[in-house]
A = this chain, B = another copy of it.
Amino acid sequence: MNSAATTLTLYELAAADPALRFSPHCWKTRMALAHKRLDALRLPWRFTETEALAFSGQSRVPVLVNGAETIADSWRIALYLDERFPDAPSLFGAADAIAPVRFINSWADGALSPAIGRIILRDIHDRLGDADRVYFRASREIRYGQSLEDVVADRPTHLSNLQRVLAPLRETLKHQPFLSGEAPAYADYCVFGMFMWARCVSLVELLEDRDVVFAWRDRLLDAFGGLARSAPRHQP
């Protein structure tokens, strides 16, 4: 099956500007679709548009619709894409790689995401429409136990903490160009999504340009004809 024969729909989190698609998890799926050479109709969805996702039984994106099939959760979507489109390039390579890549995905969500979140949380808020701002502030201030402003107040400390969190990624990339080895695949996309999250909503630079992580991010920004580099982002 090729992309021409497939009509996929992807629900993506959007900012007030519907072109600004900033969710790290939606970016994981976006890169996965490009890797599989699949096109999708990409529909904007906002935090407060619960009705629009009701058909899927989900309250969060990404949600992928392929004909009669609805798949939610970026990890499950990645597994689905490899299973459903086996002739396109694999997102995991051999089945033996799926289990360790799950750890990398969990690290991206459980270690990297909080470290970046503490830097960009207020920037995310500022990109949202009015209804989403109310939801976002309330839910995040409960999660962090602080005001958004207090969460991000000490940016130098949070940037320094991020460098510490990135140590295992940095060490790995000294030995291989991608987390997946010689070429990028899902192990890379699930981490890269976190950097796209920051890139889309914030002007802050998370990395120094002599960092191997910076060079790796650059290679992924250039992948698939510069798909990620050319994506709409917040402009000053």
Task: Name A's B-contacting residues (CB within 8 A).
Answer: 92-104, 106-107, 109-111, 165, 167-169, 171-172, 175-176, 178-181, 187
Contacts and interface: CB of A to CB of B under 8 A. Distances in A.
Given A99-B181, A100-B180, 4 more contacts: A94-B96, A94-B97, A99-B176, A110-B171
Contacts of A171: 106, 109-110
Given A93-B94, A94-B95, A111-B111, A100 B168 contact: no
Q: List the number of copies, as a whole number.
A: 2
A53 to B, nearest CB: 24
Nearest to A178: B99
Given A93-B94, A94-B93, A94-B94, A167 B110 contact: yes
A100 B101 CA distance: 6
B103 A179 contact: yes
A106 to B, nearest CB: 4
Contacts of A94: 93-97
B99 A187 contact: yes
